[in-house]
């Protein structure tokens, strides 16, 4: 008995499956379906924010701010509004830094002319950093690739959790000694 192959196979709910026509597999249709299935499987990547403490180096006056982890940013940045509102000491750069957009064009907000030096704290991690001051919109602090590469934190992108388990030996952690005052060894890290 001769078996006939249907012209097109019916899939779920009677919809014709474009991958099978006249008994052959349509490879382009399979690739499109696989790509769509992959897109549906993965959740969109979320932004990861950290609540970090920053304090003035001279007065140790501090506050907690939200810092965005941004692998697309090259350095460490503090918003101009936070620097001014918080009364951080602005350090004038020898030369202005030109800001480039992702497409290579110059940023309309202009060059970076100042930086601030602060102590930064995150879950027992302590370091002294220099942050370039620029317009960041509603974002207070951005920790870019310089910081990410130096500390190599464990990041759970789905949960938005950051663990500082792989810091280099020069990084400081708050050291608590029984019966004695707390001491700090700071990781010195600049914005460039």
Q: Are 175 and 126 in contact (CB under 8 A)?
A: no
Q: What is the mean pLDDT of the chain?
A: 76
Q: What is the pLDDT of residues 117-167, one digit of tens each?
A: 999 999 888 889 999 999 888 999 999 999 999 899 999 988 889 998 887
Query: Residue 178: which residues within 8 A CB-CB, separation 6 or more?
Result: none
Mean pLDDT of 14-41: 55
Give the count of beta carbons closer than 10 Å to the beta carbon of residue 93: 16
Give the count of beta carbons closer than 10 Å to the beta carbon of residue 160: 13
32-43 core/surface letters (b: 16 or more CB in 10 A; e: else): eeeeeeeeeeee
Q: For residue 100, what pLDDT is reported?
A: 80
Own/partner contacts of 31-35, CB < 8 Å, gap of 24 or more, are none
Enumerate domains of the chain plus CATH numbers: 8-41 (no CATH), 49-189 (2.40.70.10)
Identify the band that residue 43 occupies on the pLDDT scale cut at 50, 70 and 90: low
Q: For residue 66, what pLDDT is reported?
A: 96
């Amino acid at each position: 008995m001769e078996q006939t192959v249907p012209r097109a196979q019916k899939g779920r709910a009677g919809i014709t499956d474009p991958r099978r026509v006249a008994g052959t597999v349509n490879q382009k249709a399979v690739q499109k379906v696989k790509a769509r299935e992959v897109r549906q499987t993965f959740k969109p990547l979320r932004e990861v924010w950290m609540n970090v403490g920053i304090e003035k180096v001279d007065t140790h006056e501090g506050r907690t701010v939200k810092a965005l982890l941004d692998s697309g940013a090259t350095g460490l940045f503090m918003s101009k509004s936070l620097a001014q509102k918080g009364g951080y000491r602005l350090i004038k750069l020898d030369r202005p830094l030109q800001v480039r957009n992702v497409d290579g064009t110059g940023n309309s907000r202009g060059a970076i002319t100042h930086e601030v030096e602060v102590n930064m704290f995150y879950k027992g991690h302590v370091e002294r950093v220099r942050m370039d001051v620029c317009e960041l919109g509603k974002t207070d602090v951005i920790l870019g690739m310089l910081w990410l590469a130096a500390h190599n934190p464990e990041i759970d992108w789905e949960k938005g959790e950051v663990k500082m388990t792989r810091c280099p030996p020069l990084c400081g952690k708050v050291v608590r000694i029984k019966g004695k005052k707390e001491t700090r060894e700071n990781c010195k890290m600049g914005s460039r």
